[in-house]
Amino acid sequence: MSSPMHAATSPRTGGLAVPAALLLVYVVWGSTYLGIRIALEHGVPPLLVTSGLRFVVAGALLFGVLRLRGVAAPTRAQWKNLVVMGALLLGMGNALVVLAETTVSSGLAAVAVASVPVWMGLFGLLRGQRATRIEWLGLMLGFAGVVWLNAGGTLTASPQGLVCLLLAPMAWAFGSVWSRGRDLPSPFMAAAGQMLCGGTLIMLAGWLRGERLHAVPPLEGVLAVVYLALFGSVIAFTAYVWLLHHVRPALAGSYAYVNPVIAVALGAWLAHERFTAHDLGAMAVILVGVVVITLAKVRRK
């Protein structure tokens, strides 16, 4: 998942830059769900390290690089907005996914997160945004898929996972809609500040939950967290923000229906995860709804 950044698109970018950036966002973000599972399986605390420390480290690295390049730091008012965004998008949107993966498969978590555009559409309606008939169709399809996913199958065997995977995309979507029009720094600095704020809040929640790191985790767990911080939170996010400046928003946002497919495939291939027909059917309906919503927005623009 990435934080929402809104930027004007520029003329077409030639060469392999756009395909390379898309590949990074598709594959790396799709693989982060498996990376979370690997970290958890090797004893890495879910909130304290897998989610919280990962974002603090990534945010600090990005913040330091930007300041060295002369990018202005956020103002006091901007920091307040970044705290709220960090709490919603990362503190709930990502941390709850990590908690869910303590009881459910990485692929199933990715399927649930795929519903973010559906919730964004619903929250947009509550803010007075009008929807076309095609958008309404996409919203109804996506919402039907969410209900189907939460009504039976593998997810109902884990009440904690069900609640977390229902709230996580809702929090991410609400934070995304809330952030529109707010006073924020430049996109990359906003990302760094958001990761610093959100990561700190997540680490605090993990500490209050009783999580402690009594010993260095096995090498596999450490490498998983490094991968999540460096590739998932810095490199792939940078590629995503670059895409927002060079291609249509709909193309940059296409990760929403590509990531879950990659996550499910990687989970089945590398972690031997199994999915019921119910789970795969719900995923298909959610993804169809997301595609319809995306195409409707492109057509309206």
Q: What is the pLDDT of residues 17-31, one digit of tens each?
A: 888 999 999 999 999
- Report percent pLDDT > 90 for the chain: 55
The mean predicted confidence, pLDDT, of the chain is 88
Q: Is the pLDDT of residue 40 over 70?
A: yes
243 Cα distance to chain centroid = 16
Q: What is the pLDDT of residue 277?
A: 86
Model pTM score = 0.87
CA distance 10 to 252: 13
Mean pLDDT of 148-170: 84
Contacts by residues 8-15 (CB-CB < 8 Å, ≥ 24 positions apart): 8/245, 9/244, 9/245, 9/246, 9/247, 9/248, 9/249, 10/245, 10/246, 13/246, 13/247
For residue 226, give the amino acid letter.
V
CB atoms within 10 A of CB 181: 7
Mean pLDDT of 223-230: 96
How wide is the angle at C-alpha 69 spanned by C-alphas 65 and 74, nearest 5°? 75
Q: What is the pLDDT of residue 9?
A: 42
What's the chain's Rg over C-alpha atoms?
18
CA distance 116 to 173: 6
Q: Could you tell me the end-to-end alpha-carbon distance of the chain, in angstroms, rounded to an integer?
A: 25
Count of helices and strands (H, E) across the chain: 14, 0
Q: What is the pLDDT of residue 218?
A: 95
Residue 264 and residue 111 in contact, taking contact as beta carbons nearer than 8 Å: yes
Q: What is the pLDDT of residue 208?
A: 97
2 Cα distance to chain centroid = 5
Residue 275 and residue 154 in contact, taking contact as beta carbons nearer than 8 Å: yes
Residue 176 and residue 4 in contact, taking contact as beta carbons nearer than 8 Å: yes
CA distance 72 to 40: 36
Helix (H) or strand (E) holding 263: helix 255-270
Q: Is the pLDDT of residue 11 over 60?
A: no
Q: Is the pLDDT of residue 6 over 70?
A: no
Q: What is the pLDDT of residue 135?
A: 85
CB atoms within 10 A of CB 113: 25
Q: Which residues contact 213 (CB under 8 A, 6 or more apart)?
A: 45, 48, 49
Q: What is the pLDDT of residue 7?
A: 44
User: pLDDT (tens digit, 9 = 90+) per residue, 58-92?
Assistant: 999 999 999 999 999 999 999 999 999 999 999 99
The interaxial angle of helices 106-113 and 159-179, nearest 10 deg, is 40
Q: What is the pLDDT of residue 280?
A: 87
Closest CA to 178 of 258, 252, 89: 89
Q: Is the pLDDT of residue 296 over 90?
A: no
Q: Is the pLDDT of residue 15 over 60?
A: yes
